[in-house]
Amino acid sequence: MIRYIEVKSRARTEFIDITGQLQEAVKNAGVRNGICHLFVLHTTAAITINEGADPAVQRDMVAFLNKLVPHDPYFTHAEGNSDAHIKSSIIGASQSVFIENTKLLLGTWQAVYFCEFDGPRHRRVALKISSDEG
């Protein structure tokens, strides 16, 4: 069964912590041990696992990506959001997280981030939560 979480971005480029929403989905799925596959259903967004304790890390990542791939008019894509497509491809559209004892198995400092590169928008992330137990 595929589940979805909704994400609402407020800026053109931002990282949104969705760890709590994912954990709630795992809890509601009733899976004790397994895996949670995540897939972003958009070509101008991505998903990553990174530092969750210090928000400066997300600010630094956004600033670096914007410097690496600026929102400039020299791209030829008619919608004017080629930078968002490139950033999405760099970060990636999917992640997988193990589930152990009903919890997402993340390191002490890790969080799961929805990466918005063409906001603000309403977005969706598809989840496939699978159990290791028969």
Range list of H helices, 1-134: 19-29, 55-68, 82-91
> So what's the pLDDT on residue 134?
65
Total domains in the fold of the chain: 1
- Tokens 């977005």, located at residue: 123
pLDDT digits (tens, 9 = 90+) for 46-88: 999 999 999 999 999 999 999 999 987 777 887 879 999 999 9
Flag whether the pTM goes above 0.85: yes
> So what's the pLDDT on residue 86?
95
| Parent domain of 89 | 2-131
What is the chain's length? 134
CATH number at residue 53: 2.60.120.460
Q: Which amino acid is at 69?
A: V
